Amino acid sequence: MAFYDVLVVGCGLSGATSARLLAEKGYKVLIIEQKKHIGGQIYDYKNDAGITVHKYGPHIFHTKIEEVWKFVNRFTTFSNFQHRVLSFADGDFINFPINRLTVNKVFGVNLTSEEVPAFLQQEVEKSRFNNPPQSFRDKVVSQVGERLYGLFFEKYTEKQWNCDPDKLSPDLAGRIPVRSNNDCRYFADKYQGMPTHGYTKMIENMINHENISVLLGVDYQDIKNELQPKLLVYTGELDKFFDCKYGKLTYRSVKLDFQTLDQEQFQPAPVVNYPNDYDYTRITEFKQMTGEKSSKTTICYEYPSAEGLPFYTMPNKENELLREKYMQDVHSLEAQGKHLFIGRLAEYKYYNMDMAIDSAIKRINAWTL
């Protein structure tokens, strides 16, 4: 193989961001990717109906971080898409995340925005939970009470993780917004939207640099002894790098069922959650996110699974303890200056897309040869 300064394992968001920044510093970078396409799990493509589909489930870009927003806008323009989600519960479509409209509909009241916090506090006070919160259930109930927890979170979480919410980390609930106003957007971040020409094109532009080469369909385990780069940027599964010597970390996956229907629209929102009924957790209608025009529509059912590609880290005490063992080895390697472990899989840490980019920017900028 030709000489490269840097080997980046994985051509997803973390790997592509790292590669671009290192290439701009003058390093020759080789990206290897086990999949047969770039983009990792944000890969998208146009199907036969002319609708852009996210192969690994819906991804909506949003961030509060101006540096991240400026970075991605170097490689794509964005639509002004503001994500909205409904939850199908009690036989009806209800606004989610919880806001004033949600509270009024569920409880049959007519509260003002000023009255919502006190009402929710009353719900919390008559509920049972540990304080400080010791689990996901405790954290959610401590914010909204048992009625809303049971309606929107309990069964959804059991399906998503195949686990009692009492055994999941309270940190998992940190992503759940609760509002007292009528804001029906899922995200309140200053910057949000969909890449105008798709995520794959954004990644393609990101790695389009004279110092970057890409090899697809290559497993790091098969070639790790063939290259001796000055720096290895690893974005793959943490336990696999160390041959699972401390044991296997648990990941959750998703089985996706794509259907193209001969109708213009299927559901009243881009994403509808199904917290209680049915085996699937949500249905996505891609056309409502991209704004594309077609006489047909493509939808995607998501079924949580223990088998398949790693989508989510498992936020419980057993995995947190196992992660710490691996991270001690990571810190030892990184201290020598020849390794960086970056991204959701390599750090065994939940990242939104903007967080993955922000982490890569900070880690690469702090690294010196």
Amino acid at 326: Y
Is the CB of residue 124 less than 8 Å from the CB of residue 309? no
pLDDT of residue 224: 87
Say if residue 118's pLDDT is above 90.
yes
Strand (E) positions, 79-229?
A: 85-89, 92-96, 191-193, 212-216
Inter-axis angle of helices 353-366 and 13-24, nearest 10: 30
Say if residue 369's pLDDT is above 80.
no
Say if residue 214's pLDDT is above 80.
yes
Q: Say what the pTM is.
A: 0.94
Q: What is the mean pLDDT of the chain?
A: 95
What are the phi and psi torsion angles at 260 (to 5°)? -105, 125
pLDDT of residue 359: 97
pLDDT of residue 2: 60
Is the CB of residue 187 less than 8 Å from the CB of residue 61? no
Q: Which of 3.40.50.300, 3.40.50.2000, 3.40.50.720, 3.50.50.60 is the CATH number of 6-38+207-248+314-366? A: 3.40.50.720
Q: Collapsing DSSP states into helix, strand and coil, what is residue 40?
A: helix
Number of CB atoms found within 10 A of residue 19's CB: 29
Q: How far apart are CA 26 and CA 230, in angstroms?
A: 13
Taking each continuous run of H as one helix and of E as one strand, the counts in the chain are 13, 16
Cβ partners under 8 Å of residue 228, min gap 6: none
pLDDT of residue 315: 86
- Domain range annotation of the chain: 6-38+207-248+314-366, 45-84+185-197+251-312, 97-175
- Over range 22-37, report the average pLDDT: 97
pLDDT of residue 152: 97
Q: How far apart are CA 344 and CA 63, in angstroms?
A: 17
Say if residue 343's pLDDT is above 90.
yes
Say if residue 175's pLDDT is above 80.
no
